[in-house]
Structure 1
Amino acid sequence: MTPAARVQTSIKLLDAIIAGARGKGAPADRILADWFRSNRFAGSKDRRAIRELVYAAIRACGPVPANGRAAMLRLAETDESIAPLFDGSNYGPPPITEGEVPAEGGVAPVWLAERLRDSGVEGEEALALLDRAPLDLRVNTLKAERATLELPVETAATAAPNGLRVLPGTPVDQWPAYREGLIEVQDTGSQLACLAVEAKPGETVIDLCAGGGGKTLALAATMDNLGTLIASDTDRGRLSRLAPRAERAGATNIESILLNPKAELEALAAYAGQADAVLIDAPCSGTGTWRRNPEARWRLDDKELGRLTAIQAHLLDLATNLVKPGGRIAYVTCSLLDEEGAGQFDAFLARHPQFTAQPLALPLGRERGKGMRLSPYHDGTDGFFIACAS
């Protein structure tokens, strides 16, 4: 494909991504994967270039663009190599006409940028949410040690006790160390969130929103496979991915429990009042993960944010029925919005005065309310709010 054809293809893909964001349809990664699968004529260099163009255009826009061409014109304002490719050539985009209006730039749609600003995230810290994320690994201590593990590329130790960092795009999943379960892909911030649980061998720990099990596997390693580790979630598909991952990692103390929304205690009745610790990695807006998924800014609205904060409050209340006296509740969201973080946790403590916030001894992060906040700008991690109560 010519460079101009790559730009035109990216514009068409952006049209589909914008429509998907507006209609809550397929996300960008799926749209790209489907197109690449259906258009085999595009070689590996073409696919890489198209992917980079699409995501660069998404990052360049704040509010949802009118269309893919407007998004690409916005990128052309910041990348001088783009505008000359609007040359009207075969398979290329038509020339730029006088009066064409590029999409608006910015960190996010106006309402969401204001919510971030109200939460103390603005300026360079807000702009850092749109940088490209690094690729972090967690050494699985059930099978290996960071100090002695040998990998095919140069790595840098992160602030997490078992964290390593490699260049973005490194084909980690092709390494023997990955296939044999010696390493897992996990952001350093996510690894630190697991530290906040303070899980110990022999304890009963519940990962209330386990999803695909990334944090569950980290907890199993911390517990050295001793004790009981419950991985629960309402999403059958995501939870089903845990079993093969646990087998690869050598994690043997995990029990998976599928939950029904609003009836979670029925499935977890055997553990009511028995847990030493409950981790709530709550569903959230994902504002802290925009470096990996910048299109998420276009999918969030005030109604959806309200739905998510209600779920978070419900999960916090649910956890109080699961911990034993003196047990720990660790609350985590990959969001930088106070209504999902410090404000949500304050409201929980007000509803349940028998619980008090506990100090966190994490190597990264800054105090936010009664918890800690990690951010790409200050910590080089995904954005997280982390708090613990007992």
Structure 2
Amino acid sequence: MTPAARVQAAIDILDAVIAAAARQGASADRIAAEWFRARRFVGSKDRRAIRELAWNAIRACGEAPASGRAAMLRLAAEDSVLAALFDGSTYGPAPITPGEPAAAGGIAPRWLEEALLASGLDAGEQGALLGRAPLDLRANRLKTTREELAARLPVAAERTVAPDALRLPAGTAAESWPEFAQGLFEVQDTGSQLACAALAVQPGEGVIDLCAGAGGKTLALAAALENRGHLLACDIDRPRLSRLPERAARAGAIAETRLLDPDREAAMLADWAGRADAVLIDAPCSGTGTWRRNPEARWRLSPNAIARYAATQARLLRVAADLVRPGGRLTYIVCSLLDAEGADGVAAFLAERQDWRSDLPTMPAGRARGAGWRLTPAHDGTDGFFFSTLRRL
């Protein structure tokens, strides 16, 4: 493909991403994958270049742009080489007309920038949310150690502050390696690993992963348990939860799964009421801490959506609390940096439930935020997380 044709291809993908964000449709990753799948003639070098153009344009636009062309013009306004590719050539974009509007810049929609600022994130912290994320691995303790894994990998890896974590450059195709097929590691951000570690599970305990999804954190809990005890992974999403057994088999992890009905979680977990030693709540959230990986996600949010997430999170905290035995604990996690989904929600729970107290140890990265702990890309080099460990009296 010519450079101009790559630009037009990126514009086409951007148009689809913008439309999907407006209707809460498919993710940008899925849209790009489907676009390339339908055009198998596009080579790997062209795919990388097109994707980079599209993602750079997504990161450059604070508000959702009017069109893919407007988003690309935002980049072209500061890149004369890119602007010259709007030349009207075959398969390329039409020439830029005098006064043609480009999309507005910024970190996020204005209301969201203000909400992040009110949650303690200044302009520098907000800007880092749109950087490039590295690829972190979690060495699977059930099969290896971090040192043994590092010695086996085909590329050099950096140790991070999480005890089982190795860091590789962004875009590393680690899941194609034989070590992945052998279950020696999982792809998991260092921040996510630290959030799991905050629950401090011990072999022999009864543990519930209340919002397990496809089981990334479940597998980390299984490794910490050394497969000794009882680990129950729950979710309301059948397709996601159905992926866990295969992943667990590869990792050599033992975990029971249980599909729950929305709003009936407590009834469907009645056999665990007051019995669990520990419960992990990786609650549904806005994902403001994961924009490095999903930058278009900020175009999908609204104040009403944040309020709905906060209500769901409060309900799940109450459900989890009733599962924990006296003296037991829970860790509440969101990959959001908004206080409405983090510190504020935990404070409201503690005010409501006098039989609970905060019990979070100091972590090797991050900073205290209310009755919890916060990790950010700018300060810690991880995805953005808030988590809080609470103990039942």
* Residue pairs, 1:138-217, within 5 angstroms: 138-149=138-149, 150-217=152-219
Structure 2: distance between partners of 1:79 and 1:370: 45
SS in 2 for 1:237: helix
The one-letter code sitting in structure 2 at the alignment partner of 1:164 is L
1:213-246 CA-to-partner distances (Å, cap 9, x unmatched) read 0000000000100000110000001101110000
Residue correspondences, number: 389
> How far 1:12 sits from its partner (Å)?
1.4
1:247 to 2:249 alignment? yes
Residue 37 of structure 2 corresponds to: 37
Separation in structure 1 between the aligned mates of residue 175 and residue 230 of structure 2, nearest angstrom: 29
Provide the C-alpha distance between the structure 2 equivalents of 1:354 and 1:81, rounded to a whole number of angstroms.
Answer: 63
Instruction: Give 1:314's aligned residue.
Output: 315
- 2:338 corresponds to: 337
Rounded Cα–Cα distance in structure 1 between residues aligned with 2:58 and 2:50: 12
Q: CA deviation at 1:320?
A: 1.4
Contact 1:282 1:312 in 2 (8 A): yes
8 A Cα contact 1:209 1:233, kept in partner = yes
The 3-state SS of whatever aligns with 1:82 is helix
User: What is the CA–CA distance in structure 1 between the aligned matches of 2:122 and 2:106, rounded to whole Å?
Assistant: 11
User: For residue 206 of structure 1, what is the amino acid of its counterpart?
Assistant: I
Gaps of 5+ in 2: none
Deviations 1:98-148 (A, max 9, x none): 111110111100111110011011211100000010000000000001122
Contact 1:360 1:372 in 2 (8 A): no
CA distance in 1, matches of 2:34, 2:263: 35
Equivalent position amino acid for 2:137 in 1: L
Shift in Å at residue 340 of structure 1? 0.4
* 1:202-241 correspondence to structure 2 within 5 Å: 202-241=204-243
TM superposition score normalised by structure 2:
0.98
| SS of equivalent residue, structure 1 residue 324 | strand
In 1, Cα distance between equivalents of 2:81 and 2:337: 34
Aligned AA for 1:57? A
SS at match of 1:95: coil
Q: Distance in 1 between matches of 2:293 and 2:223?
A: 26
Deviating above 4 A after TM superposition, structure 1's stretches of 4 or more consecutive aligned residues are: none
Deviation for aligned residue 1:349: 0.5
| 1:360–1:371 Cα contact (<8 Å) kept | no
Query: Equivalent residue for 1:56?
Result: 56
Residue identity opposite 1:243 in structure 2: P
Does structure 1 retain, via aligned residues, the 8 Å contact 2:198–2:360? Answer: no
Match of 2:387 in 1: 386
Contact 1:201-1:225 at 8 Å conserved across structures: yes
Which structure 1 residue ranges, 5 or more long, are not aligned? none
1:14-41 per-position Cα deviation (integer Å, ceiling 9, x unaligned)? 1111111111122211111111111112
Match of 1:287 in 2: 288
Q: Partner of 2:107: helix, strand, or coil?
A: coil
Indicate the residue corresponding to 1:66 in structure 2.
Answer: 66
Distance in 2, matches of 1:309 and 1:262, equals 15
Q: TM-score, normalization: structure 1?
A: 0.98
CA distance in 1, matches of 2:195, 2:78: 36
Q: Distance in 2 between matches of 1:236 and 1:360?
A: 34
Q: Which residue of 2 aligns with 1:93?
A: 93
For residue 19 of structure 2, what is the amino acid of its counterpart? A
Moved more, 285-294 or 77-86: 77-86
User: In 2 relative to 1, CA 199–79 (structure 1 residues): closer, same or farther, beyond 3 Å?
Assistant: farther
